[in-house]
Amino acid sequence: MEEESPPLQSDLPSPNPASSIDATLQKKHQAMLDRLSNRHQSRQKTATTSTTIDSTASFLSTFTESKRSIESQLKNSPNTPDPTLLKSHLANISSSISSLEKLVAESSYFLPSYELRSSLKCIENLKQSLENLNSQILPKKKFSFKNKSTSKPSPGNSNTNPIPPNPYHIPQSIRDSPGIRNKENQTLSKNFKNFKEIGEFTLSDLDSCEVRLIGCINALFVNRLRNCRVYTGPVIGSILLEEVENCVFVLASHQIRIHYAKSCDFYLRVRSRPIIEDCGGVRFAPYCLSYVGIEEDLTKAGLEEEKENWGNVDDFKWLRAVKSPNWSVLEESERIGCVEIEDSGSTEAEMEIEGV
């Protein structure tokens, strides 16, 4: 059998000059595409920055105009002894301040930190001015909590005193809104789905209670709670918590502010960054509430999308570059898991809720 002779050098294919040219052109083409992509991303970033600047400018214009209007109402109160007209005037101012507060809550996710703080401070000043005006032109009523509970504390449980007020804290004005006040060792539930609209709702002076709120409300104020568990449906506007200790809160809102909280866990869904002041030992985790119709309520409140802001906490009393030691993310192994609540009907505790 004859062996095939190896191919001669002249029989081997010669390098194709066109192939080398194609490879060079391909590299140039890819480099051009990379430059175009980088340019497009740069333009998008510039456009986003420009949109944020435009949104902030629009907010500041609207906020300033509304603030001037409210200040004018505060200055030009009707000169009449008729308490009905005076109350109507004060109610209109309060409504205007609430609308302004809602505007801040809805805009807080794009506002720079300085503008947000300045706006919140301005609203606090307007509220204080309204409170001062109210005490000047209307007879001042003596306020006291009604103690509806007739049960005596057990001898073994002597730690039933309410949380003492912070001596350096200037409290918010006492809320006359519907709410649950001055309860101890009770499970309290309220379903707002049968109401056309609930404005402000207050939880105040509760000790060792479990609170379940189903449905949407416009604003929620929480003050002086100890050893409580609070589960609420979405809040369309803002939530303010003050002087709470050893509690668990499951909350959803556009804006959440927490003052003087100690050793509390917060499970949040929030449109903007949560704000804490003068707090210690507070921990945060994502919202974990479930009840029939909650998805519709979240959509109604504009909170259907999880923004992951529950872990982006701003400590307004911590100005250093490093993370604040006053709050932390709650470890997954320590979280309570999904909480399911339901409307248990009109219980005795529910019927005692003031103003609803």
pLDDT at 181 over 90: yes
Q: What is the mean pLDDT of residues 73-92?
A: 81
pLDDT at res. 22: 62
Q: How many domains is the chain partitioned into structurally?
A: 2
pLDDT at 253 over 80: yes
Whether residue 336 lies inside any domain: the answer is yes
Q: Are residues 133 and 183 both part of a single domain?
A: no
Cα angle 71, 77, 81; round to 5? 160
Whether residue 72 lies inside any domain: the answer is yes
Range of the domain at 94: 53-137
- Residue 135 host element (H or E): helix 113-137
Q: Are residues 314 and 181 both part of a single domain?
A: yes
Whether residue 22 lies inside any domain: the answer is no
State pLDDT tens for residues 3-39.
555 555 545 555 555 555 566 667 766 776 676 666 6
Q: Are residues 299 and 205 both part of a single domain?
A: yes
Pair 250, 287: CB distance under 8 Å? yes
pLDDT at 197 over 90: no
First to last CA, the chain: 108
This model's pTM is above 0.75: no
CATH number, domain containing residue 218: 2.160.20.70
Of all residues in the chain, the percent with pLDDT exceeding 70 is 69
Q: Are residues 225 and 91 both part of a single domain?
A: no
Q: What is the mean pLDDT of residues 276-287?
A: 95
Q: Are residues 184 and 326 both part of a single domain?
A: yes
State pLDDT tens for residues 290-299.
999 999 999 9
Kindly indicate the confidence band of residue 342, based on its pLDDT and cuts at 50, 70 and 90.
Answer: confident
Q: What is the mean pLDDT of residues 115-133?
A: 84
What are the Cα distances from residue 47, in Å, to 34, 44, 61, 274, 331? 20, 5, 21, 27, 38
Whether residue 311 lies inside any domain: the answer is yes
Task: Give pairs for 295-300: CB < 8 Å, separation 24+.
Answer: 297/215, 297/216, 297/233, 297/234, 298/234, 298/252, 298/269, 300/216, 300/234, 300/236
